[in-house]
Amino acid sequence: MKAAFVSVVPSPYQRDLFRALAQRPEVDLSVFYLEAAAPDSPWPEKTLEPYEKIMRGFWLPVGSARCHVNWPLPKLEDFDVVVMNTLMSFTAQWLMRTTLRHKPWFFWGERLGRGGKMHERLSEPLHRATGIAAIGTFADEDYRARFPEPQHFRIPYFCDLDPFLALPRHTRTNGQVVFLFCGQMIARKGVDLLLEAFQRLGGAARLLLVGREAELPQLLAPLPAAVRDRIIYAGFQAPEELPHFFAQADVFVLPSRYDGWGVVVNQALGAGLPIVCSDMVGAGRDLVEEEINGLRFPAGDAAALAEKMQRFIVQPSLCESWGQVSRRRARHWTPAAGAAKWVDVFQTALQS
């Protein structure tokens, strides 16, 4: 079958899944991107695969969003099935309201925000989609409630975890528990909450921060020097370098106030780490089982986060036992598994 995906940029994590899907004998894959990279993207440029293409076009600022206009558009009518991984662009709106009206098509996305009447108008085409493939349980519950007409599926993000699985887990040598955060150093990611919680732990812990600096200098400024001395900031790291930093940690923490998914949680599984995340992290619903391989806390609650982190200082054996569970589960979260899910969805759509 000929399948086309329309996505925003060549994300390294989506591309792992596309690469696996392109290897399936049942699928003749094409992927069309609205742009080569976001203006502030830190990701190094990679060579495109033969099935990938960047559409010509430009974008316009609409509030805090970038709305893309692309032309000429791909001839999606030549495909058996189309997957839209973009909603708010002019390009996506045109395709969903015209070209795809008589074509089997799916929307694949994280949980949508609620932005009033304009947002409702923009998401209106989803009522007519053949199906909605939600990125995780968190999104699936919302889509089923808001768009009951299409078929519903769950296909979260899958990324290549082999480089994480290949490295041995961190061995503590000085008695300190090393907590890792990987992501942008911004309030939405809960970095301020993490620093406040970390300050409460005392000298029995260290904190390793990996990601774009963003608001970090302002967030670190109020902390006492003794606390800052136990924080290591490694800066932004390319995806291929991340396994080495995950291998230095005992526990992974993602305290986001909101995260539609959070691929770093997949990576923490592969690294064999127990996971602490907020209840507003989409990946936490699917990848973190309470008291089995991690803990969840109410988003925005620094005291609750500190309490969860303290568990690993009081019971350091959890780092090993829960981490082993994470690593076992990582072996089921492969791009090949994600590709198989898409093949099942496509076949279901075409048979019906």
Question: What are the structural domain ranges in the chain?
Answer: 2-159+334-351, 162-330
The crossing angle, in degrees rounded to 10, of helices 263-270 and 317-330 is 110
State how far the alpha carbon of 199 is from the alpha carbons of 1, 37, 173, in Å.
55, 37, 22
168-198 per-position pLDDT tens digit: 987 766 789 999 999 999 999 999 999 999 9
The domain 162-330 is placed in CATH, from the list 3.40.50.2000, 1.10.760.10, 1.20.1300.10, 3.40.50.300, at 3.40.50.2000
Beta bridge partners of 247: none
Predicted confidence at residue 173, as pLDDT, reads: 66
- Output helix, strand, coil percentages for the chain, rounded to the nearest 5: 40, 20, 40
Taking CA 297 as the corner, what is the angle to CA 296 and CA 299, rounded to the nearest 5 degrees?
120
Q: How far apart are CA 273 and CA 260, in angstroms?
A: 21
228-260 per-position pLDDT tens digit: 999 999 999 999 999 999 999 999 999 999 999
CB 134 within 8 A of CB 285: no
Predicted confidence at residue 63, as pLDDT, reads: 82
Please provide residue 26's backbone torsions phi and psi, each rounded to the nearest 5 degrees.
-80, -15
Q: How far apart are CA 205 and CA 222, in angstroms?
A: 19
135-157 per-position pLDDT tens digit: 999 999 999 999 999 999 999 99
CB 159 within 8 A of CB 263: yes
The crossing angle, in degrees rounded to 10, of helices 302-314 and 191-199 is 50
- At 161, is the secondary structure helix, strand, or coil? coil
Peptide bond into 298 cis (omega under 30): no
Task: Classify strands 57-62 and 65-70 as parallel, antiparallel or unpaired.
Answer: antiparallel
Question: Could you list the mean pLDDT of each consecutive 10-residue stretch along the chain, which spans 352 residues?
Answer: 98 95 98 94 88 98 90 97 97 98 96 83 97 98 97 97 92 85 98 98 95 97 97 96 98 98 98 98 98 99 99 97 98 98 94 80
Q: Which residue type sits at 86?
A: T
| Six token digits for residue 101 | 């009206």
Q: Which residue type sits at 200?
A: R
Q: Which residue type sits at 113?
A: G
Predicted confidence at residue 40, as pLDDT, reads: 84
Q: What is the pTM of this model?
A: 0.96
Distance of CA 213 to the CA centre of its chain: 19
Q: Which CATH class name applies to 2-159+334-351?
A: alpha beta
Predicted confidence at residue 341, as pLDDT, reads: 98
303-319 per-position pLDDT tens digit: 999 999 999 999 999 99
